Amino acid sequence: MPYPGSSWQSEGNPARQPHEYVREGTAKLLTLFHPVDGQVLVKGVESCTNEVLHGWLKTELADIVARLPEAMPLSADENRAAWETWQEGLGICPTLSAELPSLRMLLVMDNLKGHKTPEFVLWLFDHGIMPLYTPLGGSWLNMTESVQRILKRRALDGQYPKTKDEIIAWLEAAARGWNADPTPFEWGGKRLARRQRARARQHRIGGSGACTRRPIRRTVVDKWRYSCRMTH
């Protein structure tokens, strides 16, 4: 049976690409997302090797850290404790450098091998950035995945680009439009409140998973109560 979603296909009738579709390579979108204010930094590329990815990340992250306010001065022990706090409960922890600057940023990334290269991790430590990796199979915990999906749909839905350059240009244009009026992301925000209100308006039927928007009218009957006490 059909259900809400971007598309559905009946058995024996799979989804097909439109006749305008011609595969001419792949375009990728490097993305840095700041959930607190919703701002997103992107760069369209044709390949995503470590050299390309790490070079772009270092440039953007160094610029972001440079714009941050001055860090609060801490003793060496307090500063290391601030770093180690974010490693509590992790199955695999990168070894912290012997000397650490003030912790300035948390960077959440996918659990890819390229993100764990020693040279890149040490560069992050030297700039006060703590890398945190999403668990395997848990990329949905990285909010960047969500904003990429939004940008892709805004840029490409209903369009038939002819080249990779067109795709990249449209994706970057969609990001500029997003930044003109960004939406902050937060766990348990307005969407959660809407879902909770919707659940409050539902009425369970017979203890099953089925619900109705209006309460079912129940027949009012007289109630009789009986009690019997035994005495000796």
CA-to-CA distance for 182 and 156, rounded, in angstroms?
19
Question: Which pLDDT band, with edges at 50, 70 and 90, does 206 fall under?
Answer: low
Q: What is the pLDDT of residue 222?
A: 63
Residue identified by tokens 């296909």 is 9
Higher pLDDT, 56 or 222: 56
Q: Is 211 helix (H, G, I), strand (E, B) or coil?
A: strand
Q: Please report the beta strands in the chain, taking only residues with DSSP state E, as ranges in sequence order.
A: 28-34, 39-45, 105-109, 129-133, 203-204, 211-212
The CA distances from residue 98 to 12, 67, 71, 78, 124, in Å, are 61, 26, 19, 14, 14
How do the domains of the chain map onto residue ranges? 28-180
Task: Give the pLDDT confidence of 51-65 residue by residue, as tens digits.
Answer: 999 999 999 999 999
- Burial state string for 169-193 with b = 16 or more CB within 10 A and e = fewer than 16: ebbbebbeebeeebeebeeeeeeee
| pTM (2 d.p.) | 0.71
The angle at the Cα of 192, spanning 199 to 195, to the nearest 5 degrees, equals: 25
Q: Are 32 and 58 in contact (CB under 8 A)?
A: no
CA-to-CA distance for 145 and 226, rounded, in angstroms?
63
Q: What is the pLDDT of residue 34?
A: 94
CA-to-CA distance for 210 and 203, rounded, in angstroms?
8
Q: What is the CATH number of domain 28-180?
A: 3.30.420.10
Q: What is the pLDDT of residue 148?
A: 92
Burial class (CB in 10 A: 0-12, 13-18, 19+), 97: middle
